Amino acid sequence: MRKVGEKKGRTSTRAQAGAVRAQVKKLLYRLYEHRLLRQVHHGVMQEHIGIILDGNRRHGVRQGITDPQAIYSLGANKLNEALDWCGEFRIPVVTLWVLSTDNLSRSTAQVSSILMAIEEKLVALATDPEIHHRRVRVQAIGRLDLLPGSTLAAIETARKATAPYDSMVLNIAVAYGGRDEIVDSVRAFLAEEARRGGTLEETIDRVTTAAISENLYMRDVPDPDLIIRTSGEIRLSGFLLWQSAYSEFYFSDVNWPAFRKIDFLRAIRSYQERQRRFGV
């Protein structure tokens, strides 16, 4: 009996020690977050942040989650926190890459799960009191004609519900590819030139960076100051390919569903510590 009691005692002691460690870790996290906040609040803030939401599947594997819908729902729910952080610093434009055109070639189960998570989140945003309180305008960019009707309906629901707002713009990049956007911009430019009835030489003379920029998906917002990619991948994969010419990049090892406020603050701090030259 004494051995059984000793085992229970050791188990209880380990549990108590674990609880203490968790409390200490939580306290240290709060202190570090507070320190980062003080540093960031004294720096220059961005007008436009782009985030590549990467690492959903890897996070699922680490957590033992196998259901694709559950995996991508976790990533979609993280959006609320990201909007809170951007709202706190009054960042006027946020662009989130949630689905690329290349992603559409994944398995049917994966694509369906991603689209379902996107649809649920868009519909939720349309009725979210915080979205309306902050006056966030939600819109989607990409080759939307590739999306199913249910996803297009969800996009339209969010767009209509938030159309009058102008305090923050939330761009959801879905069925998006940077090369595709440039191709679509050139096509739109050439179509307009054809309607004008100009000659080939006149059309060539009108091809300028301004003309291409005018036909991009987001022609009415500033280029991104900072682009964040989660999951440890050190590449843009074509995200905002045209607009990111002078953007600053920050690559986080943390998978998107596990991305914390301190990770976001580190990215902001890193941006503020750099000297932007814009080619000069």
Catalytic annotation present for 103? yes
Q: For residue 209, how far is the Cα from the chain centroid?
A: 26
From residue 103, give the alpha-carbon distance in Å to each of 42, 106, 214, 231, 232. 39, 6, 27, 16, 18
Strands 48-52 and 226-229: parallel
Beta bridge pairs of residue 169? 93, 137
DSSP state of 138: E
Q: Which of 80, 103, 184, 263 is catalytic?
A: 103
Beta bridge pairs of residue 138? 170
Catalytic annotation present for 215? no
CA distance 225 to 166: 19
Q: Which of 54, 128, 180, 225 is catalytic?
A: 54
SS3 96: strand
Do residues 147 and 105 lie in contact, with contact meaning Cβ atoms separated by under 8 Å? Answer: no
SS3 47: coil
- Helices of type H across the chain: 2-41, 56-63, 68-88, 108-127, 129-134, 149-162, 178-196, 200-205, 209-214, 261-272
Tokens of 86: 């951007």
Nearest by Cα to 92 from 138, 50, 46: 46
CA gyration radius for the chain? 23
Residues annotated as part of the active site:
54, 103
